[in-house]
A and B are shown apart, each in its own frame.
Chain A
Amino acid sequence: MTELWYTTRATGVVALVLLTTTVALGVAGTARFSTRQLPGVVRAGLHRNLSLLTVAFVAMHVVSTVLDPYAGIGIISAVVPFSSAYRPLWLSLGTISLDMLAALVVSSVLRSRLPYQAWRGVHWLAYACWPVALWHGLGTGTDSRLPWLLMLDGLCVLVVGAAVLWRLRLAGPGAVRAAGTTVTAVFMLATIAFVAAGPLQSGWARRAGTPASLLHTAARPATSAGRAGDQS
């Protein structure tokens, strides 16, 4: 079922791009960003609609992953962190991101029934959701070393990094700005270092925690044989 495998890859990448756009629009919203071409109402409406679109693509990503029998990722492993034998840490980052996204959606649906501060607190999870999803893609992504995908991931990091730094600059000088700038810079450098030392190096499939049974299937010349190798 290689089609499911490619569906998982494609929907995962598109979901990350949509999540990046959603986060950037959300950051712009906190500063009441508005232009003639993009009035505040349009920006807020787009932010809401793109969030829902992101959820739809994440749902497709998860469903196709669960349906694909290759890695044997069940529905439990899709929602409970560290319950899968396949690349436990990196898959769990995706699971955590999914759980955070679910909390965001549920709290937004129940927004009228929740205290504003509670909803706001949960909504901040969106900012944690993005880096976790990015690292999930880089660590579990079977295609992280493709040049065009590396460029796309780099673009996502640049967009969110620029949006956060722009927002921090608006906040004015202070401890929050300094801490935020430092955290953003450290995150960007850590991501670059991780990619260079991890997915770009040979042997990543084994180091990432791919089960030995799947590693050995790569030695067979079957249609699915290339997949363990590419799940590096």
Chain B
Amino acid sequence: MREHVLRASRRRDERLARIRKLTLWITGGAAAASLGMGTAFAHAIPGSSASSSTSSGRASTGAPPASSNASGSAGTSAESGSHRKHHHGHRLTPPAQQPVSTPAPPVVSSGGS
């Protein structure tokens, strides 16, 4: 009788421990998934970083190209907002010439008084 009670008690403790363990794993997984998805959204949907304006990011949004929306309705123009950002966010090209120093002496002007 006593052994039966002990066994039932042990089994209950094991199951409670399993619930705790599974809950912890799922909580950790949910937190990690949140972080991962936040990062994925930041990369997939333009508007957050330079890397988001890559062509792959645009493709993943599935929106039509900006040129086709430029004269569209308000709705379509809103949906192409990300592409407008992309349009404005063209990669910078290096200058053709190195900057040169001016031969003129520096001019210092007083602020008054």
Contact = CB atoms under 8 A, between A and B. Distances in A.
Contact of A226 (B15, B47, B72): B47
A218 to B, nearest CB: 3
Interface in A184-221: 200, 202-207, 210, 212, 214-221
A205 B69 CA distance: 13
A123 B69 CA distance: 47
A46 B45 CA distance: 34
Contacts, number: 167
A224 interface: yes
A58 to B, nearest CB: 12
B60 interface: yes
Interface class of chain A by DSSP? helix
Contacts of A228: 78, 81
A132 to B, nearest CB: 21
Interface class of chain B by DSSP? helix
Contact of B78 (A147, A215, A224): A215
Contacts of A10: 33-38, 41
A169 to B, nearest CB: 27
Contacts of A214: 78
B56 interface: no
Given A14-B33, A227-B81, A2 B75 contact: no
A221 B88 contact: yes
- Give 3 nearest A-B pairs by CB, closest first: A206-B75, A218-B81, A226-B47
Given A3-B38, A216-B78, 9 more contacts: A14-B37, A50-B26, A142-B45, A146-B61, A147-B62, A210-B78, A214-B78, A226-B47, A230-B82
